[in-house]
Chain A
Amino acid sequence: MRFPVLQGWMVGSGQRPLRKQLAITLSAIFALSILVAVLLLNQLFGLQARDLIDQRSSFFMDAMLAVREYTSKDVNPIVAPLNEGPGVFRPEAVPSYSAQTVFSYLKAKPEYRDYSYREAALNPTNLRDKADSFETGVIERFRNDPSLKVIAGEKATPLGPMHFVARPIKITKESCLVCHSTPDRAPASQLLTYGDSSGFGWKLNEIVGTQIVTVPQKAVFEAKDRSLFTTALLFVIAFVAVGLITNTVLNQLILRPMREISRKAEEASVTPATVSFDERNRNDEIGLLARSFERMKQSLAISMQMLKDRQGRS
């Protein structure tokens, strides 16, 4: 397909100065290049932002697992005996409490503010951790397919769409069952704090809940848009710089010598003897043009001399 008007407007039909024609052409090419690049990068950065968030989410969950492990192995043996006494229940002995508390400290940092971490269970001791209908669905999927290690995707919430990454929580230690099997095994202080109706009946190797990290989709898009905007801005700056340099070089190498040659040619048409095309010593096309004009000037001078001689004889 051909677009003569567009083609003429861009590459020049001789209606405008060369410098303008070049500026228009370069602007059009650069704008088109940026547009195509932004469209492609939009896709690429979207994938990268999601990947980054998934990686961070995985890191959070690994870190929280480590906190759980530490609590279970090192803190619980010290704190749990205190819960057997007549004092108040100390949740520091509970791995889930430690993990969620550590995450709340992490969340206080501005860069993690968008991330949310929950350890939702179907039958938790603290009803704060009770799985909602969506989380229940995720836990059921893990229970129905034990080979499933991670579920990621989008979910709708009253705050808008969220991206989530979830992993199963499986009871792998007999020690967990002290507080979660039957009320008669649980510490008295736990019963006095949470009662005897929730958080019991768990079994070894059973998937009882899910670790779930959620991030607003808005945060994913914002991360992508920030990268995209920065890249596009760099493109624009680079293209504007290239345009300005091209324009300057064009002016220095071609336009200015051409204007000079044009001025001298006009002068030579009246008084050829007083004009010298010094550019003829150049080896480029400007030199070639200057040499042509020099020859034309000399021819003109000879012709004018011959005409003058003929007039003198007559």
Chain B
Amino acid sequence: MRWRAAVALLLAVLSLSACRRDQASQVRLCGSAGQLRVGYVGAEEGRARGGQAVLSDQDLARMRDLLTVASRCEVLLEPVASPEQARQRLGGGEWDAAFLPAGLAALALEGSGSGGYNLVRPLGQRSQSRSQLLVPAASTRRTPQQLQGARLGLLPRGSLTGFYLPLYNLHGLSLRSVHYALSYGELLEQLRAGKLDVIAWDAALPDPGADVRLLSEDRNAIPVGALVLSQALVAADHQPFLQVLDQSAAQLPPGLGYVAGVLPEAQRLQRLRAVVNNVESWDLPLEGQPYAVYGRKLQLTPEDQR
């Protein structure tokens, strides 16, 4: 009957008009809160002085836009200067994705309670980093064992070359005090000013000058950093997100060293993960307080050393 056909047609038109604004389905990659919370520490740690220039305003805006386009989701991009803050964010599962240096990437893999993270892209082609300890050139201290009673300068907890490895290598010593700074540059200033007796340093940094000298160097080569994704995002369809990042790698900050289309080698972090876990199990030093570097120290197995 014609009138029935007319009613059916009208219903169809109304239904279509109600649905007309539905876009073609697009793959979204969001965290549990409906946003993508991204942490940014960068591929290297301790370079940004006073928290400045972790990411310039221009790079911040460009990265935020790129991540938004890649994820099709609202992005909360948090550049962080302090490895300690990054460590807390990772531990609390407060980031869905993060651009991390090697130490924090190792920590992220452990996934304390938050389900952990997976490494999805390397940051930086190769690393010259090694953890070192520097003393003033005029210092009488020649070996790490002579640092008994010294004032030690470290980067905040979470840094591999600036925190975990120096403490691991100073196991058994009692220090007069431990002090923190956000950058190696600030530590060096304090060493020169005589406020510290020894500081953590990274071999990849420019030569600090003739007024300081190397006391010791850790033998572990530091692998490159990584872009990590939370387990929830890895379980979701994250390939379109990575594809967009890979295609737009040139828009990412040049210092980040994002390597498109390559999976990081997680096993290269194995030994460092053991070091991080080991040190994390200790009572850790507080700013300006005396500290006995003591705790269970695991001897690393040959598997760890591979």
Interface residues of A (CB under 8 A from B): 23-24, 26-27, 31, 34, 38, 86-89, 104, 107-108, 113, 116, 126-128, 130, 132-133, 157-160, 188-189, 192-198, 218, 221-222, 225-226, 228-229, 232-233, 236, 240, 243
Contacts and interface: CB of A to CB of B under 8 A. Distances in A.
- Interface centre among A38, A193, A196, A236, by most chain B C-beta atoms within 10 angstroms, is A193
Nearest to B64: A132
Nearest to B287: A86
Nearest to A89: B85
A23 B4 CA distance: 9
B10 A130 contact: no
A108 B23 CA distance: 23
A118 B9 CA distance: 45
A23 B74 CA distance: 52
B32 A195 contact: no
21 contacts: A24-B2, A26-B3, A38-B14, A87-B286, A87-B287, A88-B88, A107-B34, A108-B32, A108-B33, A116-B74, A127-B79, A130-B57, A160-B23, A193-B81, A194-B85, A195-B49, A197-B52, A225-B19, A229-B15, A236-B7, A240-B7
- SS class of chain B's interface: helix, strand, loop or mixed? mixed
B74 A27 contact: no
A127 B54 CA distance: 9
A221 to B, nearest CB: 5
B11 interface: yes
Contacts of B72: 159
B51 to A, nearest CB: 2
Given A127-B79, A195-B81, A232-B14, A107 B33 contact: yes
Nearest to A216: B74
- SS class of chain A's interface: helix, strand, loop or mixed? helix
Interface residues of B, number: 53
A225 B14 CA distance: 10
B76 interface: yes
A307 B195 CA distance: 143
Contacts of B60: 127, 130
A196 B23 CA distance: 45
A103 B237 CA distance: 27
B188 interface: no
Given A104-B33, A195-B52, A228-B18, A128 B76 contact: yes
Interface of B: 1-3, 6-7, 10-11, 14-15, 17-19, 21, 23, 32-35, 48-52, 54-55, 57, 60-61, 64-65, 68-69, 72-74, 76-82, 84-85, 88, 156, 180-182, 286-289
Contact of B84 (A132, A158, A193, A197): A193
Given A192-B180, A192-B182, A195-B52, 16 more contacts: A31-B6, A86-B287, A104-B33, A116-B35, A126-B78, A127-B55, A127-B79, A128-B77, A157-B68, A158-B68, A192-B82, A195-B82, A197-B50, A197-B51, A225-B21, A240-B7
A196 B32 contact: no
A196 B51 contact: yes
Task: Give 4 closest A-B pairs by Cβ, nearest first.
Answer: A195-B51, A128-B78, A229-B18, A86-B286
A160 B76 CA distance: 17
Contacts of B34: 107-108, 113
B127 to A, nearest CB: 24
Nearest to A125: B51
A127 B78 contact: yes
Contact of A34 (B10, B50, B54, B77): B10
A26 B287 CA distance: 84
A8 B278 CA distance: 93
Contacts of B289: 86
A159 B74 CA distance: 8
Contacts of B51: 194-198
Contacts of B287: 86-87, 188-189, 192
Nearest to B10: A31
A222 B6 CA distance: 26
Contacts of B77: 128
A57 to B, nearest CB: 15
Contacts of A196: 50-51
Given A133-B61, A229-B15, A128 B82 contact: no
A88 B285 CA distance: 11
A107 B35 CA distance: 9
B6 A27 contact: yes
A196 B183 CA distance: 12
A34 B7 CA distance: 11
Nearest to B157: A88
B64 to A, nearest CB: 7
Nearest to A103: B33
A187 B105 CA distance: 29
B17 to A, nearest CB: 8
Given A87-B286, A232-B14, A27 B68 contact: no
Nearest to A157: B68
Contacts of B84: 88, 192-193
A189 B181 CA distance: 11
A103 to B, nearest CB: 10
Contacts of A160: 23
A50 to B, nearest CB: 15
A26 B2 CA distance: 12
Contact of B21 (A34, A158, A218, A243): A218
